[in-house]
């Protein structure tokens, strides 16, 4: 029997659940359809910058998030092979400047906090989307478990491997970037107390690769996440087991602190980074894509989840303000696409900066970035999605393409 629902969200990850919360905060009920049999996120770190936290606070999640977040003091950037200090990004100053904190989360804790604000009856697990059809003022959805749903509107938050996207645009699959990620979670007690001093977060940059290490859950966990240029094909997926020795070999001649940190790794995972050329294929009619389904980006500016949270607030605000959902989605795209494309370009440019093979030129460019401008995060964090949800923001010109 076909059920009828007003708003269907496809995907129960961070973007989908945040959007359900945002809609609820404006008096709109949404049903979330998730492929997995249970909500959950693989253990990893997620950073949320001030403008994203403003959006999350505005939909009533501020206290829940503060209870499980680590307030990041900042990031020390060092040369991977010499240990030379290059930059300190003071996030406490950023929080004061932009009026909201910079947080670091264990991904599972963030997921639980966002999910806890929703009625469990609105979350439908074990629903893998297999078909979508536009029927005038309704959208029909078919799932692998035999369920058939009709909704007034559909919000696609189903990630970089979105099922909705190719249904709308045909062969629009993400492509491998030639970059891969290693990730490991370590016990904080296994890490010498001075290894991540003074701020608890170090980024090492070097030729063709970089590595971040920082505390989660106080000092209980150390998250390691890396990125490297590679000629090898590496499949997408967060749970592909990796070889710790292969991971260590990816960082030749590491400075002593980094070498010690890598020596502690006994388990790791790896995956390839996939994205697609920047385009405006974000939805049509009564179907709107958000998050990675609309604009998958490299992680180098720390904005993947943040831009999804901006999406969540702003799409809900437009649906609350505009009775015609088609017009609401058109306006959402009008105010979002230009900004998100600039953030995507920033992420690409940051990868190139972090992987420069000339350490002298790299040091000079990092210093220039620290001074502000298009290559810094100032313009990203300064945006206020709550006050300026209906405006097309000014963005810098950044020359970077996939």
* Mean pLDDT of the 170-188 span: 90
Q: Is the pLDDT of residue 238 over 70?
A: no
Write out pLDDT tens, residues 252-301.
Answer: 999 999 999 999 999 999 989 988 889 999 999 999 999 999 999 999 99
Q: Is the pLDDT of residue 42 over 80?
A: no
* Mean pLDDT of the 153-178 span: 91
* Mean pLDDT of the 53-78 span: 94
Superfamily of domain 3-69+101-174+276-382: FAD/NAD(P)-binding domain (3.50.50.60)
Long-range contacts of 55-58 (CB under 8 A, 24+ apart): 55/22, 55/309, 55/310, 55/312, 55/313, 55/314, 55/385, 55/386, 56/18, 56/114, 56/309, 56/313, 57/100, 58/25, 58/313, 58/385, 58/386
Residue 169's pLDDT band, with cuts at 50, 70 and 90, is: very high
Q: Is the pLDDT of residue 3 over 60?
A: no
Domain boundaries, given as residue ranges, for the chain: 3-69+101-174+276-382, 175-273
* Pairwise CA distance, residues 77 & 129, whole Å: 42
Q: Is the pLDDT of residue 235 over 80?
A: no
Q: Is the pLDDT of residue 44 over 90?
A: no
175-273: CATH number: 3.30.9.30
| Whole-number pLDDT of residue 76 | 93
* Mean pLDDT of the 140-166 span: 96
The 3-class SS string of 148-209 reads EEEEEEEEECCCCCCCHHHHHHCCCCCEEEEEEEEEEEEEHHHCCCCCCCCCCEEEEEECCE
Residue 363's pLDDT band, with cuts at 50, 70 and 90, is: confident
Torsion of CA 103, 109, 112, 116, to 10 degrees: -60
| Whole-number pLDDT of residue 1 | 38
Helix extents (H) in 76-138: 91-98, 107-115
146 close to 175: Cβ distance less than 8 angstroms: no
Residue 373's pLDDT band, with cuts at 50, 70 and 90, is: low
* Mean pLDDT of the 246-256 span: 94
| Whole-number pLDDT of residue 239 | 67
* Pairwise CA distance, residues 314 & 153, whole Å: 16
More confident residue, 291 or 91: 291
* Mean pLDDT of the 199-208 span: 94
Write out pLDDT tens, residues 299-329.
Answer: 999 999 999 999 999 999 999 999 999 999 9
Residue 234's pLDDT band, with cuts at 50, 70 and 90, is: confident
- Beta partners for 357? none
What average pLDDT does the structure give for the chain? 91
Write out pLDDT tens, residues 207-229.
Answer: 999 999 999 999 999 999 999 99
48 close to 306: Cβ distance less than 8 angstroms: yes
**Catalytic positions:** 214
Q: Is the pLDDT of residue 4 over 80?
A: no
* Mean pLDDT of the 373-393 span: 90
Q: Is the pLDDT of residue 2 over 70?
A: no
| Whole-number pLDDT of residue 12 | 96
Count other Cβ atoms within 10 Å, centred on residue 365. 18
Q: Percent of the chain scored above 90 by pLDDT?
A: 74
């Amino acid at each position: 029997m076909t059920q009828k629902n007003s708003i269907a969200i496809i995907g129960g990850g961070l973007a989908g659940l945040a959007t359900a919360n945002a809609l609820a905060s404006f008096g709109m009920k949404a049903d979330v359809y998730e492929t997995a049999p249970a909500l959950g996120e693989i253990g990893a770190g997620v950073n949320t910058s001030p403008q994203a936290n403003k959006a999350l606070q505005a939909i009533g999640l501020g206290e829940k998030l503060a209870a499980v977040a680590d307030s990041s003091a900042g990031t020390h950037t060092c040369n991977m092979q010499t240990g030379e200090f290059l930059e300190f990004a003071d996030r406490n100053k950023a929080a004061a400047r932009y009026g909201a904190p910079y947080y670091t989360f264990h991904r599972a804790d963030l997921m639980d906090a966002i999910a806890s604000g929703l009625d469990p009856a609105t979350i439908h697990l074990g629903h893998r989307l297999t078909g979508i059809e536009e029927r005038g003022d309704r959208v029909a959805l078919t799932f692998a478990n035999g369920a058939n749903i009709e909704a007034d509107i559909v919000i696609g938050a189903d990630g970089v491997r979105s099922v909705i996207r190719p249904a709308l645009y045909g062969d629009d699959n993400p492509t491998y970037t030639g970059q891969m990620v290693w990730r490991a979670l370590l016990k904080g007690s296994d890490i010498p107390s001075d290894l991540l001093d003074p701020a608890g977060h170090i980024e090492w940059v070097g030729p063709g690769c970089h590595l971040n290490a920082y505390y989660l859950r106080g000092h209980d966990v150390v998250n390691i996440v890396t990125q490297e240029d590679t000629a090898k094909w590496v499949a997408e997926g967060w749970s592909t087991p990796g070889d710790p020795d292969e991971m260590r070999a990816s960082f030749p001649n590491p400075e002593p602190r980094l070498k010690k940190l890598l020596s502690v790794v006994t388990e790791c995972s790896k995956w390839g980074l996939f994205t697609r050329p920047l385009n405006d294929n974000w939805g049509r009619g009564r179907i709107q894509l958000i998050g990675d389904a609309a604009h998958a980006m490299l992680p180098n500016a720390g904005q993947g989840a943040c831009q999804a949270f901006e999406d969540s607030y702003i799409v809900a605000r437009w649906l609350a303000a505009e009775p015609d959902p088609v017009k609401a989605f058109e306006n959402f795209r009008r105010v979002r696409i230009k900004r998100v494309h600039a953030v995507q370009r920033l992420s690409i440019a940051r990868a190139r900066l972090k992987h420069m093979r000339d350490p002298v030129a790299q040091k000079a460019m990092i210093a220039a970035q620290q001074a502000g401008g298009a290559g810094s995060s100032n313009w990203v964090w300064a945006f206020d999605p709550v006050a300026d949800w209906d405006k097309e923001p000014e963005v810098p010109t950044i020359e970077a393409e996939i």
